[in-house]
Structure 1
Amino acid sequence: MMIENVISRSLRLMFAGGMALSMHAAYAQETTDGTMQRVEVTGSSIKRIASEASLPVQSFNQKDIKKTGVTTVTDFIQQIPAMQGFSVAADSVGGGGGGVTTASIHDIGAAYTLVLLNGRRIAPSNSGTTIDLNSIPLSAIERVEVLTDGASALYGADAIAGVVNFILKKGASPLEINAKYSRPEEKGGASNSISISKGFGDIDEDGYSIFVSASHDEQKSLKASQRSFAKSGIINFNDPKNGKALQFINGSSRSAPGNAAVDYNRTDPVTGAVVINPETNKPFVDSVNLNPYALAHGGKCAASNMDFYGNGNCYFDSPSTIEINPESKRDAIFSSGTVKLGKTGFQGFYDLAYTEARVVASIAPYPADFSVDVGSPLFNKYLAPNLTPAQLANATGAVANYRLSEMGNRVYDYGTKATHIVAGIDGNAFGWDINSAVTYSKNKQTQEYVSGFPLADKFDAQVAAGNIDPFAYPVGSMPDAMRQALLGTGFSGTYNTQTVEMKGIDGRASRPVFSLPGGTAMLGVGADYRNTSYKVQQANVAKQAQILFDNAQVDSEYARDNAGAYAELMMPISKKLEMTGSLRYDQIGSIDDKLTGKTVGKKENATTWKVSGKYSATKSLMFRAAAGTGFRAASMQEIAGPLEDWGVTGGNYQCPLTAATGMGGHPLASYCSGVGRQQFEAFQGGNPDLKPETSKQWSIGTVFEPIDSLSMSFDLWNVEIRDQVTAVSEGLIFNDPAKYANLFTTKHISSTGKDVLAIKLLPINIGKVENRGIDYDFTHKMKLLDGRLTSRLMGTYLLRSRYTTPGTDDQWETSLNRYGSNDKVSFRNIIRATTTYETAKFTHTLSASYRNGYTDKEQTAKDCAVIVAGSPGECYGIQLEVPSYTTFDFQTAYRPMKNVEITGGILNLFDRNPPFTLRNTGSHQVGYNPSYSSALGRQFYLSGSYKF
């Protein structure tokens, strides 16, 4: 009854929105003689005709990919409406992305979306299961299959959201060269690519077949200053309700020229005596903020800085200095081959993929805090004249809050080398279809500090010698000798290296077992084993905290075994009804800490199940349904990771451990004394007490083809996760310091010799997650004049997306159509529509992508991220409604001869800017959300292919 109510309510919502419904049928393999070949279908261990599958699989071939005009796997995958919650390259701009891009089905998360290469796992980009899409070459892909039903018996119970399977090219093919160049209408962000491929041999005639391809692509960076909507962290706008002029602020108190905070003992205003705190028997310490440059210039901050809060500080416009899209490069080689193994009935096969990728991210110049001793030349020249007699007489120390603008931006180079090798056999013996292989897969990422990072000892020495003056010079005006002294403190080189290796073996077999009224029942069985190791090697500069403001980093090395076995039985009960059931057992080992010799965490195991079925009511109408369970253990880093430096918070916050918040009695409350709004230090680490996550999911849908030219279908799906592992966000910690009191700590700043307040971003089991929605697709084909017109509308409509507040199991929150406490938006409606008109010589494609609007992050007067324009310190509370976002793309392909194709196109045809948002957490771009819209604007591209 409950499921019936859910379905009926969901259908009413869908039809009320006037949506066409569908889920595209799976790709079918057809042989040269026109007969349908039984193949391995994504999601099943049983070979069968792909279009007969009972699970929802979206399939995209080479033509589909080319019509989008994209250059990379990442760009293509993230255009699919079923994808939400993925990571983009722009997340590397201060957001901790590390250059990694991911896939995420149904907004459930990249950790729950299993990415495969030719049906087998590849090495993840971290200590869990998340795959970096940068390691997969687009030029080598034959088709992409997306299984949107989760928890696979074949691939693993951890595929809770579903599976993305990249099927790579193979077999004989002519020598083909492809090249493409793309350039935005405005400056910045140009890209180009080139690839070459060739297939050799025929498996039937020659006994072997080999395919080889190589490719190169690169994307130029895009600076914030090159886009009007992202050029500053100080944004003027009006309250849409009353027209009031406002300013959105995402500046930093680490400014150029620098601010200073002077500590002094509190004195009695009458007697002048120092006031003692009876609880500590030490003097009360107060602090005064000031900017010497502004005080010397009539209270006016230097260029690129502003006084927002009237608290004595100038705030630096750091978002104006960043690159909002990072530079990237990728080189890839791929080869696949098949050889007949005599007369055994078996074939040997291999897959080989090697990729080198780089992402170069540039963020704001280095924030430097350092001590200024009382009585020192800097103190006497800049601070003492701006203090009252009582403050000066009782001064105990000062800290300069400085932005090292003359060093240039902090530039990170994330270099990835990915190797993937599979060797196996495929054939038939004793009535069984057998496939078995060994896999070696490796992902190695090196993080390089290119420029903009000062070494603490050199910097401190230059300041002590008077060669660096933090208080006198606005950006761009520092004397050359002083600038050279500052540049001479910089570090350039490797910071750390992360290596993930996966070694595995698997085998599966299927065969007919008995007859039923509807046909022959099929049995599939299999087992797999893999060992995954995760190693982080810190360079000496990281281990010894040689970078200014840094903490010592530690090496880590873990390993874990995974093993599983499964059985699947497909039963054609009648000519119209087919049922499939499967069981899988997984055992996940405890974590071996290779550096300490200890075992961390516990062994975990679970048995999961799945039942699916389809009912063919008529030749044109089919119903399908599935239900099952899933199981996922936390990643090795989530369980065993050491507490390590994670930089600073993305947003600015008021220090929360005060009497005003009821946290004045917190052991670390003294660290809030004299601290204004600022970014706080952050750590991340592991939690050995994490429990495994479990899931339940079901889906029900239909496929309807009333006429040959029209296909309609839809699938209603539901996923529930319990004990989900996630880190508490910085916003949650600062908004509810009482609940997360144990996540506050201190960090020692070597450059100042002081401890400051910091937070710990630790993973926890937050309780429950529930996602529900409808995937739909509508396809129509017709002849028109001398060509063929094909129209397709596909999308995902979220009905529910909610999660319990961290630490509770009954307080629900949602990010559905709103910026949630998890710093994300779950969009209710994402649609992509494509119309293609194809003739003998031309193919014209017009595409539209739609994403609905949402309720923006609330900025309260307490947060003070928004002020009344022209009134520093007059904080203003507001919450915007971010509008929907629609873009159109157009492409024309021309084939002057059989072996030549020239394609030209325009992405974002009407040059739509991303919607304005007040988001100020996560990656460092402001004014828009880079996770949901591109900053490139209108782009023109030209590509060509030639087959020899």
Structure 2
Amino acid sequence: MITTFSSARKAALLTATTPFALALATVPALAQNSTTEPAQTQATQPTQDSLPGAQQNAENQADAGRQLPAPTAETQDNGGDVVVTGSLLRTQGATPSPVTTLTSENLDQRGINTTQDAIQRLSSNNGAALTNSFTANGAFAGGASAVSLRGLSSSSTLVLFDGLRAAYYPLADDATRNFVDLNTIPDDIVDRIEVLRDGASSSYGADAIAGVVNIITKRSFNGISGRAEAGIAERGINANQRLTLTAGTGDLDEKGYNAYVSGFYYRSEGVNNRDLPYPFNSSNQTGIGGPDNRVLPSNFGTTTAGPNFYVAPANAAVSAIAPGARYQLLGNGCANGAAATTGAADLAADPTRPGTVCVTDAINRYGVVSPDIERFGGSGRFTAKVGDTSEAYLEVNFQQTRSSYSGDPSTIFNNAPAGILFPQFSTRSNATRFASGSGPLSLPVYVCAARLNCGTATDRRLNPNNPFAASGQNALLIGGLPDTVTQDETRSRVYRAAAGINGTIFGDWDYRVDLTAMHNDLRRTQNGYVYIQRLLDVIGDGSYNFVNPSANTAAVRNYLTPENRTDASSDLYQAQVTISKALFDLPGGPLQLGVGGTVFYEGVDAPSANSDENGPTQRYFTINAFGTTGHRTVSAAFAELNAPVFDQLTINGSARYDHYSTGQHYLSPKIGAKFTPLRQVALRGTFSKGFRIPSFAEANALPTTGYVTNNSNNFNDAFLAQYGCTVANFNTACPTYIRNGSYGQTTLATPTLKPEKSRSFTGGVILEPIRGVSFTVDYFNIRKTGAITSLTPGTALSAYYSGATIPAGYEVIADAPDAAFPNATPRVAFVRSNLVNANTLKSEGIDFGANTRFSFGNVVWTSNLDATLQLELSTSFPDGRKETYVDTLGNFNLTAGSGTFRWRGNWQNTFAIGDSLALTGTVNYTSGYDLSAMDQDTGYRDCGLAPDPAYTGCRVKSYVTFDANVSFKVNDKLTFYVNGFNLFDRFPPLDPVTYGAYLYNPVQAGENIYGRSFRAGAKFSF
């Protein structure tokens, strides 16, 4: 139960309540639409519900001399009917749809200081969530955070701001999924967060398939309040600070108006892998029985040579090493790392390996766990009575979020960036070798001012970077820049305004009119990335010193790696009108009707940060080239009918029709019922249909390419025989070009995609056997059909390598021939296919909630258990094949290999002692999983992705952490608090497969990867 208060009482409670009580209140009140907190929610006296817990909590709250945690019973405890996320109508008490409500007081009590962190910790958040840590690990949507309810991805979870839509983050997750960035929410004015755990809400239309997250801001504030806090991990990392200040004046009841302004500042220091304990701080995994992944002779290669330069004399074909030659260090030794001698066995295995290599621990030197994050912003709101029955408001928000980190050494050789328009070239010169990824760079014999045809230039001179120039041989060059690392920064500025009026007209008609506009201005700044044409320039004129990189001037480095700045934006404009009325009385109460309409415009303009429209060399290495643009206008009409047939039975029905300017349209119906046979028992259930509109990225984006390393399953013996090997000896006998090569999976947008459709139903029970004790169990089942997907490349690969006709829907692009095997069939460079509506996804599970509150003399004990059991998350394909992901790393392609957890949950216990002291302990649990993923061609839970079960085992273990918090109220105006996180200093279990972080799962671990940490602060209110 979430009790609401008058503005004066609420301001007092900001000081009076402990910041360490219950954080999650699982409230099964009917999901209803709350654009701003209605006046009826401000009453000070709670009312009784059909379940007895409301009365008990009213009695508890009436004990004004005591400091109590927030109530957690399964009813909305307020002074009248309220409107909650998911509905148009005012309703009192538990209703058909399950909702989780987190108030600002709740978050304070648990020590959660950002809205995005609170939402990420939801037990219903599973699978393809996007956390801040992904920013530092190459995420397409760097700098953002997104929720994924039910494991159905961020694009199937609708995020609202005061019940209205919000602008998308300009970049798409994995270049396909548009979402609302949780970092853009102004934490300091959030009153509560309502999470509708019932999919396909007919109140909101598209994208609510998995559920709705509605962030509701404060309706009014009177007085001055603020806080100052700072925290740091025990190891001296991840220092963070937060400052807030809010000031308001006026009383809506007495003066007819209220106005407040608020501002905040938040900073979180980035963390590098070297700051963590072993094994998370080193590429050398021998201490845990694994491989040494530092740059060593055993893994030396074109793309793994590390941040040092190696050269070898080239034969006349330019791209092939001279017979009998080996690579050797260029210059006087290792610019990075320590020299090591290559063993005889390694030299024999590869006759081109150098006798001396530089051992570089890339994880320790360059690895990043989380970026530097800085956020600040301001908000203002004015609310006023209009006549005796209406209320108008105007709210404005501004927020800036900056996220930055330093990455890996700059590369001079790599696969072509995603989004290329020139996938294949007919020659193997420096200028065309980049896209095919088929060979190293070549340092010519001569350099000159013209940079081309220097062999005949009048100003030619021997290349000072080529040690073989005097003998007339080119030098093949591999490695990376020893003197430059990449740096990435995203700066997001969000501007939002909302205005509206609501109240009663004609005596008994409730109405709302809301307007909102939101603009997201995103700037990406990237430094240290090699611009391909300029690399060719400095090779051609000899201006970059490859022999001694430390001697290069800043001007030379800046020329080679010019700053790349890309601006993107997104917009949302919406107008919405709703009216409702009680038509007549039924035996159980009034029959209510609500109708409404809305029109909104949404658009994204995110140009490619690395387009090659001017040619294949007019771009950077490794920067994602993804880009998209698009806009659409949507109009919708919706209606809802709530019928309390009799005291024990309420039936609710609703429907919405959406029409898109891009041609799509859809009708979303929903029906729900609540049956209360006994005062201690309530049964509820819903059935609904919904849809997800194709994202701008799916319909309008540039091609998106991901690179997959070849394995023996891609080939057959007939093909490999041309290269002197077989499937059986693939890893030992096949040439590096085949064994270590990769192919690009290029996905093309499809403007004619249809909406994904969903069917979902829920069923639950609420039990309150005695006062102060409640239990909830809610089953959910969501099926999405026509799911948008790319075609499986394995079908095209099999046809190509067997010499068969390439199936319809695919385009296979072959690489340039290998100079060592010029007559062999080239390997595949790219497999291209369009997105299609093809698959069926299913998500099924059970939510559990248990809440208790007891008084023992001077002590009040509150306990809350909140957990989700994921029974199924699967994809079925048109050919009848089915992939199941629960308890594995799948859906690997959606989750960055972070998997689908069978269990997630937390258990909080708070003891309020007297009116000044409160203690809270919170246990957080996430289950383990098998190192397999059916979407990566393994069986279900067959350990198929484990690199070596001898040291990793086949499962990643479950993860349990404990947080403890204490709060002391000095007086009515001042409170001190201390938050302690991961107090047992437990690090997450080893996971060598997940690629969103190094050796651990960032969704499973969260910020607990920092170890034990503390935060202390003070808050005041006048």
The TM-score, its normalising length taken from structure 2, stands at 0.76
Q: How does 1:857-876 map to 2 (within 5 A)?
A: 857=932
Structure 2 CA distance for aligned equivalents of residues 586 and 663 of structure 1: 54
Match of 2:669 in 1: 609
- 1:777 matched to 2:849? The reply is yes
**Unaligned regions of 5+ residues in structure 2, if any?**
1-23, 31-39, 48-78, 414-429, 431-440, 447-461, 724-733, 817-825
1:742 aligns with 2:810: yes
Q: Distance in 1 between matches of 2:592 and 2:190?
A: 30
1:335 Cα deviation (Å)?
2.2
Q: 1:149 aligns with which of 182, 198, 220?
A: 198
In the aligned structure 1, how far is the partner of 2:251 from the partner of 2:337? 73
Task: Say if 1:682 and 1:398 are closer, same or farther in 2 by CA, change over 3 A.
Answer: farther
Deviation of residue 405 (structure 1)?
Answer: 3.0
Partners of 1:665 and 1:516 lie apart in 2 by 82
Q: Does 1:439 align with 2:516?
A: yes
- The residue correspondences of 1:403-552 to structure 2 (distance < 5 A) are 403-407=480-484, 409-430=485-506, 431-449=508-526, 451-468=527-544, 470=546, 478=548, 480-482=550-552, 484=554, 487-491=557-561, 493-537=563-607, 544=614, 546-549=618-621
State the 1:319 CA deviation: 3.5
| Distance across 2 between alignment mates of 1:654 and 1:301 | 30
Post-superposition Cα deviations, 1:597-634, rounded to whole Å, max 9, x if no partner, equal xxxxxx11111211100001111210000011111121
Matches within 5 A, 1:222-621: 222-227=271-276, 228-236=278-286, 246-247=291-292, 252-259=303-310, 291-293=327-329, 302=338, 310-311=349-350, 312=352, 317-320=361-364, 321-343=366-388, 345-369=389-413, 371-373=441-443, 375=445, 399-407=476-484, 409-430=485-506, 431-449=508-526, 451-468=527-544, 470=546, 478=548, 480-482=550-552, 484=554, 487-491=557-561, 493-537=563-607, 544=614, 546-549=618-621, 557-590=629-662, 603-621=663-681
Give the aligned residue type for 1:31. A
CA contact under 8 A between 1:354 and 1:417: conserved in structure 2?
A: yes
Question: Paired residue for 1:7?
Answer: none
**Worse-matched range after superposition: 733-742 or 722-731:** 733-742
Q: Name the structure 1 match of 2:454.
A: none
Q: Distance in 1 between matches of 2:656 and 2:342?
A: 61
Q: Distance in 2 between matches of 1:86 and 1:302?
A: 39
Q: Is the 8 A contact 2:309 2:481 kept in 1?
A: no
Judge conservation of contact 1:657–1:664 (CA < 8 Å) in 2.
no
Query: Are residue 97 (structure 1) and residue 141 (structure 2) matched?
Result: yes
Listed one character per residue, the Cα deviations across residues 129-155 of structure 1 (whole Å, up to 9, x for unaligned) are 511001002221111111100111212
Do 2:872 and 2:885's aligned partners in 1 also have CA atoms closer than 8 Å? Answer: no
- Contact 2:443 / 2:539 at 8 angstroms: preserved in 1? no
User: 1:178-193 counterparts in 2 under 5 A?
Assistant: 178-193=227-242
Answer whether contact 2:267 2:374 (CA < 8 A) is retained: yes
- Residue in structure 2 matched with residue 834 of structure 1 by the alignment: 908
Q: 1:184 touches 1:936 (CA, 8 Å); kept in 2? A: yes
Q: The residue matched to 1:225 in structure 2 has which SS?
A: helix
- Give the CA RMSD over aligned residues: 4.1
1:42-191 superposed matches below 5 A: 42-49=85-92, 51-84=93-126, 85-93=128-136, 94-126=138-170, 130-191=179-240
Please report how far the alpha carbon of residue 489 of structure 1 lies from its aligned counterpart in structure 2 after TM superposition.
2.8
8 Å CA contact 1:543–1:554 kept in 2: the answer is no
| Aligned-residue identity in percent | 22
Residue in 1 aligned with 2:766? Answer: 703
| Change in 2 beyond 3 A, CA 1:492/1:294 | closer
Deviations 1:271-324 (A, max 9, x none): xxxxxxxxxxxx9999999531299999x9955999998544579654331221
Q: Which moved more, 1:312-321 or 1:359-368?
A: 312-321
* Structure 1 counterpart of 2:912, one-letter code: E
Aligned amino acid, residue 150 of structure 2:
H
Change (3 A) 1:327 1:763: farther
CA distance in 2, matches of 1:32, 1:452: 59
CA distance in 2, matches of 1:303, 1:97: 38
Per-residue deviation, 1:679: 6.2
User: CA 1:284/1:167 → structure 2, altered by over 3 Å: closer, same or farther?
Assistant: closer
- Structure 2 match to 1:595: none
Residue of structure 2 equivalent to 1:15: none
Cα contact 1:848–1:889 (8 A) shared by 2: yes
Counterpart code for 1:235: Q
* Alpha-carbon distance in structure 1 between the residues aligned to 2:505 and 2:408: 63
Task: Tell me by how many angstroms 1:884 deviates.
Answer: 0.6
Separation in 2, partners of 1:903, 1:301: 46
Deviation at 1:800, TM superposition (A): 0.9
Aligned residue in 2 for 1:677: 740
Contact kept, 8 Å, 2:312 with 2:328, in 1: the verdict is no
The answer to whether the Cα contact below 8 Å between 1:864 and 1:877 also exists between their aligned partners in 2 is no
Partner-residue secondary structure (3-state), 2:86: coil
Change (3 A) 1:734 1:774: farther
Moved more, 693-702 or 529-538: 529-538
Q: Is the 8 A contact 1:233 1:927 kept in 2?
A: no
In 2, Cα distance between equivalents of 1:550 and 1:461 = 19
Q: CA deviation at 1:360?
A: 0.8
Partner SS for 1:799: strand
* Kept after mapping to 1: 8 A contact 2:464/2:542: no
Between the two proteins, the alignment pairs up a number of residues equal to: 854
Q: In the TM superposition, what whole-angstrom CA distance separates every residue of 1:229-255 from its partner, at most 9, and x where no partner exists?
A: 32233422667xxxxx64568975252
Identify the match of residue 801 of structure 1 among 869, 873, 884.
Answer: 873
Distance 1:938 1:486 in 2: 44
1:854 aligns with 2:890: no
What is residue 271 of structure 1 aligned with on the other side?
none
SS of the aligned residue for 1:404 comes to: strand
User: SS of the residue aligned with 1:55?
Assistant: strand
Measure, in 1, the Cα distance between the counterparts of 2:101 and 2:213. Answer: 10
Check whether the contact 2:796–2:810 (CA below 8 A) recurs between aligned residues: no
Gaps of 5+ in 1: 1-20, 240-244, 267-282, 386-391, 473-477, 591-602, 749-753, 869-874
More deviation in 289-298 or 552-561? 289-298
**1:25–1:59: 8 Å Cα contact kept in structure 2?**
no
Cα separation, partners in 2 of 1:661 and 1:604, compared to 1, 3 Å: farther
Instruction: Say whether the 8 Å CA contact 2:160–2:215 is kept in structure 1.
Output: yes
Give the match for residue 638 of structure 1. 698
Using the alignment, how far apart are the partners of 1:815 and 1:164 within structure 2?
Answer: 24
Q: Which SS does the other structure have where 2:1001 is aligned? A: coil
Query: Once the 2 structures are TM-superposed, how far is the Cα of residue 172 of structure 1 from its aligned partner?
Result: 3.1
Aligned to 1:37: 80
- For 1:693, the equivalent position in structure 2 comes to 756
Structure 1 CA distance for aligned equivalents of residues 624 and 42 of structure 2: 59
Contact 2:610 2:623 (8 Å CA) reproduced: no
- Of 144-153 and 677-686, the range deviating more from structure 2: 677-686
Please report how far the alpha carbon of residue 524 of structure 1 lies from its aligned counterpart in structure 2 after TM superposition. Answer: 0.9
Secondary structure of the residue aligned to 2:412 is: strand
Measured against aligned partners, the alpha-carbon deviations of 1:39-85 in whole angstroms (never above 9, x if no partner) come to 21111111122x33321111111221012222211111111111113
> Of 669, 682, 687, which residue of structure 2 is paired with 1:627?
687
In structure 1, the residue corresponding to 2:552 is in which secondary structure? helix
Say if 1:179 and 1:943, in contact at 8 Å, map to a contact too: yes
Structure 1 residues 676 and 317: CA distance shift in structure 2, 3 A: farther
